[in-house]
Structure 1
Amino acid sequence: MSRGLEVPYFITSNELVTMLSRGRILDIIQQKIDDDGYFIVDVDIKQGGRIVVAIDGDHGVGIDYCVEISRLIEGSLDREEEDFELEVSSPGIGQPFKVHRQYVKNIGRQVEVLTKSGEKYSGELLSVNDGGFVIKEEKIVKPEGKKKKELQIIEHPFNFEELKSVKEILKF
């Protein structure tokens, strides 16, 4: 029996993504994040083994906590078997909400709503339920037949299915 040349086995990006799965990262961090009172906004495995984790909390997330989660993930993965790049952060200001708890966290704050039909609204996030939320929009309008402008307050209910994006807006 002759022994032929051994052909090295190269892992394709699709195989790497399979090994570095979203579910595997969630398994590593979910319990700790829940126990510490934070929540996961997103876990994304990008091409080339780039892992991007976004976490948040009702009172924000500090850099030290992001470092702690990053170390937990790195300590649970073997760099000998999996080459990866890791980024753990909180969602940036002005980034669209991705999970229900972000809506709850932002009750009482100003948000911008963009519907799938292209309509844009902004106002205070009043309430959130499983199906959607309500914002209070304040506009200064000039009613027909009157000389003075008046403050008009309108409550807009939204279903999550009709939305393209919702994000917090900061006013100074």
Structure 2
Amino acid sequence: MFKDTVKELLDKAFQEREDLFLIDFKIVGDNDIKVVIDGDNGVLVEDCMFVSRAVEHNLDREEQDFALEVTSAGATTPFVHNRQYKKNLGRVLEIKTKDDQKLEGTLADVDSEGIVLEWKAREAKPVGKGKVTVKKEAQLKFDDILEAKVIIKF
């Protein structure tokens, strides 16, 4: 019952702020509410405050005691929503596919069906000795992706 009420409040907040979306939501222990959000343009502290207030100001502490934590998705947290791909265009991703492939490359394109990943590889020359750098590309459907996350390089 309490979880349904909190979920309704979150849904209402995300209808008001369509640039934000829910990544994870759970209630553990003694009504310890944990919410993880993301946004099409990233997440600011003010965005977390907005979601927190949307929940906290509509629950009665006299009726139900609770703790509330609203955070943003971490930089290397695996994607759970297709909207996360668009905001990471141009970044390097690590992709695990359902057929046990592991790919790493730059996210070049995103559409409603899937993504395009690009990377460079060294291959033997077709004629003669030595290697040549070639540009590789993989088109992946969202349904074929098991896990995707941003790779941060320094």
Class of the TM-score when normalised by the shorter of the 2 chains: 0.7 to 0.9
Post-superposition CA distance 1:88-142 (Å, at most 9, x none) = 1110011111112111111111111011222100111111112211101211233
Structure 1 counterpart SS, 2:17: helix
Match for residue 110 of structure 1?
Answer: 92
* Alignment pair present for 1:24 and 2:8: yes
* Greater RCO, 1 or 2 (C-alpha within 8 Å, sep 6+): 2
Does the CA contact (< 8 Å) of 2:10 and 2:55 recur in 1?
no
* Percent of residue pairs identical: 36
Larger Rg: 1
Matched with 1:154 is 136
Asked whether 1:51 is paired with 2:33, we answer yes
Unaligned runs of 5+ in 1: 1-17
**Over the residues paired in the alignment, what is the CA RMSD in angstroms?**
2.1
- When residues 50 and 139 of structure 1 are mapped into structure 2, their CA distance, relative to the original with a 3 A threshold, is farther
**Take 1:41 and 1:149, find their aligned partners in 2: how far apart are those partners?**
46
Give 5+ residue unaligned stretches, structure 2.
none
Aligned pairs, number: 152
- Partners of 1:144 and 1:46 lie apart in 2 by 59
Match of 1:40 in 2: 21
Corresponding residue number in structure 1 for 2:69 = 87
Secondary structure of 1:141's aligned partner: strand
TM-score under structure 1 normalisation?
Answer: 0.77
What TM-score comes out, normalization by structure 2 length?
0.85
